Chain A
Amino acid sequence: MDLGQINPLLLLASLMVAATPILLAAIGEAVVEKSGVLNLGVEGMMITGAVVGFAFGVNTGAPSIGFVAAAFAGAALSMLFGVLVLYLKSNQVATGLGLTLFGLGLSALIGKPYEGIKAPTMAKWEIPLLSDIPVLGPIMFRHDPMVYVSLIIVALTWYVLTRTRAGLILRGVGENHNAAHALGYKVIRVRLMAIAFGGACAGMGGAYISLVRVPQWVEGMTAGAGWIALAIVVFASWRPWRVLLGAYLFGGISVLQLNLQAAGVPIPVEILAMSPYLITILVLVVISLRGNHGAPGSLGREFHATH
């Protein structure tokens, strides 16, 4: 065992990389849930985003095109969920599960020809001046563009939700859809847009795993990241900045356990590998002790416009 191998600077830098997929998926899901819809299909949208992003990235040689394609794929898949839940009034929990199962199958099918190929590399952005700051520079300002894109999405989400009328309407729809309907807001349209946003984010999050984090395509490679993103939304009490905190904490844990594995710490590999899931459970318990404050009032309820 050699703990000296673990470089704290590298650890912190890779934390941001490890957290980005979950951050993207979680911020998207937070918006979906804020609008009053529970989409349990995050895992399915992520894995579909992962394979579609990878396929486009490999075929075009441009990871950025992969991300755009992944966002579209995630959004398209989420629209399937949206139509079922919002127009055909299907059960949200069951439909979300169905989306995950469907996405796992779809991605495996699409991904067959891409197994064993390496992803095109994504250039890092060394942000001028900032990246030269000692210690902080290498940790925070020498990443690939998607890390910054994800942070910008979090900031924008916060701004839109708390500071704009569109955000107020979205929160109103999620808090009490009957009241929003009575005031003349288009509940279904607002939710459909939120679901599409959530799908696009999850798709990009998945693509980040296959294009940057791993980077190759392996069947089932999201390995529960979508579910962890759902847990982080609860942990964050549906607040954007706390989603960021939750995702980075989680990223820290998974990076740390990988580093401990590499350093040959005398803890069985399996225990280290299961630790992120155990810690997620622990966090969920701690949060439920605090009570479910901040959950949108209409979360998961069926909306049927009355006359």
Chain B
Amino acid sequence: MTGDMRQGDALMTLEGLTKAYPGVLANDQVSFSLLPGEVHALLGENGAGKSTLVKMIYGLVKPDAGQMTLNGEAFAPVNPAAARAAGVAMVFQHFSLFDALSVAENIALGMDNPPSTRELASRIREVSQAYGLPLDPDRIVGDLSAGERQRVEIIRCLLQNPKLLIMDEPTSVLTPQEVEILFETLRKLTSEGTSILYISHKLEEIRALCEHATILRHGVVVDTCDPREKSARELAELMVGDKLHVPSRDPAEPGAVALSLSGVSMPSPSEFGTDLRNVSLEVRKGEVLGIGGVAGNGQDELLAVMSGEARAQDGSITLAGEEINTLSPGARRARGLLTAPEERLGHSAAPEMSLIENALLTGSVREKLVDRGFLRWNKTEKFARRIIEAFDVRTPSADNAAGSLSGGNLQKFVIGREVLQNPDVLVVNQPTWGVDAAAAASIRQSLLDLAHKGAAVIVISQDLDELMEISDRFTALNEGRLARPVPTQGLSVEEIGLMMGGAESDEVAA
């Protein structure tokens, strides 16, 4: 293994780190080392143990066994403050930000001995300019875009002059252009001697940025490599440990317009949400429309306005020619428009209720699970079992609580619940977010099959590779505006980036 040879001049070494949770061995004898000034990728599927590992380095979780060294000395942080004092900083996947507080207050909370407010503000301006990430210290964080919010996190780390910067899925919220800026910043940092531990499942990015990769599977280091020498497919197969199933598609001729939105505007129901502005789209029977975009650009609002959870203030929504803007979610389901929101726990499913009850949640109308107000539990149970069987949901029984299923299994259940109701139009938001690769592949396949059978499918996703793989036409959300859809075939990364960044789609298509 290369790890042993690199240990002599390493910035940090991990030796036999092990952490068990009830029923799960999250990390099993993980060892590797990090050189000064290198970008080291930590690769693995969801649940491979990446997050647990970095939380141990950051002092949030104590290892059951194993040692770490930093600059040749034993390193065992008791809490994040100790890790920060030793020169370790971390940018979180789900931002550790406080919406109602200002940028400066957010940054002060991430530092152990912040200077006075005025001095801090000027240092924020200084550092953010130096690294090409401009930030106004007085703005309220809740009003910032996702990209700007990430800057807050990064600046918070940079102000501590870290020796090691940990980044957990930093690009999931960025447009390709913003990713470029981020990479510039990171390269500048490494040239100054900072090491970066970079967690991602985006393989092309890792190939572009990282010099070394450690691959985790089920909590074990299965391989190390130089990602620049491997293809993305090879990396993926190392991660999954299996040959990947690529969804097959068999595009049908698009039919009549099934669902259309024209000039839809809606103020966001949540305080720090994004308003929809003049959104228009059409989706035809038999086609998959992909909607890309960085998180927090109106995805939840767009789904809500289609599902019937929210009403458009302006514009119209028509389903097979009928205006449905004032209809309730139930009435829309009856007419063939089904949806699956992003958040599984608490939105598309009730975590503490059984799978049977969760089958009833959206199935009551189309599957006729209610008779004059009274519930038909036998029929509901059969429907739940049908979903479990057809979509290979791994659960001891249909009586189990939805929250007890793994993310991938619950998502298969949610998607299956909608697909089995034979929708005319299906809208899904982030269908494979946090789902393991095998489940993701089967979910994508089921969406393609549904379209092939003649349904219109809208997939809202942050995962561009996914959209490129399954959609016929592509568009993107930016600050609540939707670009004009263009055919996916032959679309370049630059064009996608421009659409996600809000450039008018005409220029892109031209």
Contacts and interface: CB of A to CB of B under 8 A. Distances in A.
Chain A directly contacts chain B within the complex, with at least one CB pair under 8 Å:
yes
Nearest to B98: A175
Given A184-B79, A307-B52, A171 B108 contact: no
B219 to A, nearest CB: 13
B108 A165 contact: yes
Interface in A37-70: none
B59 A297 contact: no
Contacts of A183: 80, 96, 109-110
B494 to A, nearest CB: 35
A182 interface: yes
A175 B100 contact: yes
Report, as a range, how many residues of chain B touch the other chain.
20 to 34
Interface string B362-397: 000000000000000000000000000000000000
A261 interface: no
A133 B271 CA distance: 48
Contacts of A180: 96, 98, 109
Given A165-B114, A183-B80, A183-B109, A175 B101 contact: yes
Contact of B99 (A169, A176, A293): A176
Contact of B98 (A176, A293, A307): A176
Given A179-B96, A179-B98, A184 B59 contact: yes
B55 to A, nearest CB: 7
B-side binding surface: helix, strand, loop or mixed?
A: loop
A184 B80 contact: yes
Nearest to B26: A307
Interface in A234-258: none
A82 interface: no
A293 B140 CA distance: 14
Contacts of A165: 108, 114
B97 A182 contact: no
25 contacts: A165-B114, A168-B105, A168-B108, A171-B105, A175-B100, A175-B101, A176-B96, A176-B97, A178-B94, A178-B96, A179-B96, A180-B96, A180-B98, A182-B60, A182-B80, A183-B96, A183-B110, A184-B79, A184-B81, A185-B109, A294-B100, A296-B100, A297-B99, A307-B26, A307-B55
Interface of A: 165, 168-169, 171-172, 175-176, 178-180, 182-185, 293-294, 296-297, 307
Interface of B: 21, 26, 52, 55, 59-61, 79-81, 84, 92, 94-101, 105, 108-110, 114, 271
- In the A-B complex, the 5 residue pairs with the smallest Cβ-Cβ separation, listed nearest first, are A184-B80, A179-B96, A182-B96, A175-B98, A184-B79
Given A168-B109, A175-B100, 5 more contacts: A172-B105, A176-B97, A180-B96, A307-B55, A307-B60
